[in-house]
Structure 1
Amino acid sequence: MSLKDILVHVDSSRHCGTRLEAAAALAARHGARLTGLFVRTTPHVPQFVMSQLGPEVAQAQRRFANEAAAKARAAFDEAVTATGVSAEFRTPEGEMLETLVLHARYSDLVVIGQYDRRDDNMADEREAADHVILDSGRPVVVIPHAGHFPVIGDTVLVAWNASREATRAVNDALPLLRAAKTVHVLVINPRHNGVHGHGEIPGADIAGHLARHGVNAIAEHVVAHEVDAGNMLLSRASDAGADLIVMGAYGRSRLRELVLGGATWHILNHMTVPVMMGH
């Protein structure tokens, strides 16, 4: 399997330029076609309000959407021109999350931005990552809202917990893992038995599987029950100099993670490097 179609979500946030640069670099590295998606959303205004304010409201909304789409197109074209990748830009109208998930299903990989509550232009994107990860059936690379990431995939840290979600994430990430210079497999607080068991040497089985796919991975495991998995994962990523984390998402229900916390929730809120998630 190789990456042929990469979709990047384009918005009006101040972080979008960094996201576009990262997506264009990924597309260039893998010889993929890059599609930019800017969703033209129109706030719902009750009919009785429209009747009082007149058609000027709708005209102003459309004018604002056109201006935002034009700025997004210019930013996308700039990133594409810098890398020379084959590209397409789309500006469909619709509800943000539904439209993003729909277009994501026709790509091999989706690139979106980490939600930043301080950026009003991302107000509609609070749950964008969750919806695309859970509903699109495609792997998602989330780009942090802080920092620049010109290279993604030279040093990759795979978070392995022997779950179905982690298995899916590793399989989806194979094109990136094959192209990586260094791959680390990290098992945190492994269990030796059961459906999520890791055997006598935690991480050895998945490392062997990756080796048969041409990926030479360095496997290690840590036992640190006093430190939550999300913090441990980010700490080890920093120690390894990783520029990408690969992990399964929402091994337990999203509601349970929102209430009790969990690795997916922690990483989505505190990521320091791009993260590829699969579900």
Structure 2
Amino acid sequence: MALKDILVHVDSSHHCRARLEAATALAVRHDARLTGLFVRTMPHVPQFVMSQLGPEVTQAQRRFSQDAADAARRLFEEVVDGAAITSEFRAPEGELLDALVLHARYSDLVVVGQYDRHDDNMADEREAADHVIMDSGRPVLVIPYAGHFPVIGDRVMVAWNASREATRAVSDALPILQTAKEVDVVAVNPRRNGVNGHGDIPSADIAGHLARHGVNAVAEHVVAHDVDVGNMLLSRASDTGADLIVMGAYGRSRLRELVLGGATWHMLNHMTVPVLMGH
């Protein structure tokens, strides 16, 4: 499958421009259509409160939401201006998470921002990446809130654990992997046998599969039982200069990861490079 439809979430956060620039560069690289989505949300105010405040409050809220949408449109058009791609801006009114998931289902890739708890304009986005990953059925590219990422996909690290989720992520990322200059397939603390076993040579089978699809993949594995998987992956990405990590998301229940921690939770909270996740 080629990347022909990319959806990017546009918001009022301080990090939105970097996210749009990354999504635009990716769309140019893959000759894809880029759709910017800004969701005009309305705060939930109890009816008895609204009856006391009057219609002026609702009107003011709608004006504020429309002004934010207009600013988002201007930023989107400013970033994509001059790029050799087809683009569209959408600003539906509704619930943020529902709208993101709905529009994501009609794209090949969804680009969202990492949640930044220090940015008040992202207050409603705490679970945005989670919901799109779990409910859209589409691969999700999460852009870190710190840094700029003009190039995504030259040097890719695939986090391989032989799971269904990792398999899905690799399949979803294939168009990106096929254009990459280098792909490192890394297994951390691999098991040899079982349904999620790696065989005698960890990562070798998936690297061979990717090679048959024209991907320049190298199989590696790391054994470090005293370091959690998330930290190991980020450390490895830093050492190799990876500009993208591809990994499966939520191989165990999301609630279990939120309580006990896990590679997905760690990556969403501590990522230093863009991460493409599949579920």
TM-score class normalised by the smaller sequence: over 0.9
Q: Which residue of 2 aligns with 1:185?
A: 185
* Structure 1 residue 38, shift from structure 2 partner: 0.2
1:47 aligns with 2:47: yes
Residue 45 of structure 1: CA displacement?
1.5
CA distance in 1, matches of 2:237, 2:84: 31
Match in the other structure for 2:94: 94
Aligned residue in 1 for 2:14:
14
The Cα of 1:141 is off from its aligned counterpart by 0.2
Amino acid at match of 2:225: H
Q: Which amino acid aligns with 2:256?
A: R
Please name the residue that 2:29 is paired with. Answer: 29
Structure 2: how far apart are the matches of 1:51 and 1:160?
56
Q: Which residue of 2 aligns with 1:248?
A: 248
Contact 2:152 2:274 in 1 (8 A): yes
Deviation, 1:84, is 3.0
Over residues 240-269 of structure 1, what are the superposed CA-to-partner deviations in whole Å (9 max), with x where a residue is unaligned? Answer: 100000000000000110111100000000
**Deviation string for 1:152-193 (max 9, x for gaps)?**
000000000000000000000000000101100000001001
| Partner of residue 71, structure 1 | 71
Whole-angstrom CA distance in 2 between matches of 1:88 and 1:123: 26
What CA distance in whole angstroms lies between the structure 1 residues aligned with 2:167 and 2:252?
A: 15
Within 5 Å, which residues of 2 pair with 1:222-261?
Answer: 222-261=222-261
Q: Report deviation, 1:74.
A: 0.6
Mapped to 2, the partners of 1:50 and 1:98 lie a distance apart of 24
Alignment deviations for residues 53-84 of structure 1 (CA, whole Å, 9 cap, x no partner): 11110111011011100110011001111423
Amino acid at match of 1:235: S
Q: Which residue matches 2:166?
A: 166
2: CA distance, partners of 1:108 / 1:219: 27
Q: TM-score, normalised by structure 1?
A: 0.99
Aligned partner of 1:147: which letter? Answer: G
What do residues 172-225 of structure 1 show as CA deviations (whole Å, max 9, x unaligned)? 000000010110000000100100111111010000000010002011101000
- Paired position in structure 2 for 1:81: 81
Distance 1:17 1:85 in 2: 17
Show the counterpart of 1:122. Answer: 122
Q: Distance in 2 between matches of 1:79 and 1:242?
A: 25
Q: Secondary structure in 1 aligned to 2:81?
A: helix
Q: 1:226, 1:54 → 2: CA distance?
A: 60
The 8 Å contact of residues 247 and 276 in structure 2, kept in 1 or not, is answered as yes
Rounded to whole Å, the distance in 2 between the matches of 1:65 and 1:112 is 20
Give structure 1 regions of 4+ aligned residues with deviation exceeding 3 angstroms: none
After TM superposition, give the deviation of residue 47 of structure 1 in Å. 1.8
Check conservation: 2:22, 2:151, Cα contact below 8 A.
yes
What is the RMSD computed on CA atoms of the aligned residues?
0.6
State the identity as a percent: 80
Question: How far apart are 1:85 and its partner, in Å?
Answer: 1.5
* Structure 1 position 264 matched with structure 2 position 272: no
Paired residues, what number? Answer: 279
The separation in 2 between residues aligned to 1:75 and 1:179, in whole angstroms, is 29
Distance 1:233 1:194 in 2: 23
User: What is the letter of the counterpart of residue 56 of structure 2?
Assistant: E
Match of 2:113 in 1: 113
* TM-score where L is the length of structure 2: 0.99
Unaligned runs of 5+ in 1: none
